[in-house]
Amino acid sequence: MPDNRITAINVKYGRDYESGAVQCMNPGGGSADINHGHKGEYVFIHVERDPHARGMTDVALFITDSDEGDGDLAKGAGGKYRYLIPREEISEGYIVEVALWRGHIDSAPYGWKWAYHPYVSADINNGRGGDYLYFLYKQGDLGQRRAEDR
């Protein structure tokens, strides 16, 4: 089985970065531009894969009043700053697939998880209106990861 682990999430600004960006998986699709329907920069999420590097196992959504630097998903739109924070948990398989979901859902689709801001929301657009927007991810086999850690 090929190792398709995701090792980095990169937020890129500008229309030139639309190609290769993480896409919407919901029926009917939707724009991959995180700021779609809002003023501000065109914002696209890209991932890096490397079968020889440590992978990510979890992603959190961080919504804050302060500018934390690069990676703001709402760049130029005003209001709160929004970031995806990759993490590595010992007990989880590496992330192997990612997607966006534009539109309301009550829970992540079967086999998928969503990045969420604890005690707030998984909706990237929470508090700013517009479409509901979720960053989803799927983890690979934990057994494969444990075998390489031995």
Is 100 among the domain residues? yes
Is 81 among the domain residues? yes
**Confidence band for 118, pLDDT divided at 50, 70 and 90:** confident
Taking the C-alpha atoms of residue 142 and residue 94, their distance in angstroms, rounded to an integer, is 7
- What range defines the domain where residue 29 resides? 6-149
Tell me the CATH number at 114. Answer: 2.100.10.50
Instruction: Compute the average pLDDT of residues 80-95.
Output: 89
**Confidence band for 89, pLDDT divided at 50, 70 and 90:** confident
Is 1 among the domain residues? no
Does residue 30 have a pLDDT over 50?
Answer: yes
Residue 20 has a pLDDT of 93
Number of domains in the chain: 1
The position carrying tokens 């998880």 is 113
Taking the C-alpha atoms of residue 98 and residue 79, their distance in angstroms, rounded to an integer, is 26
Residue 145, both tokens: 């990861």
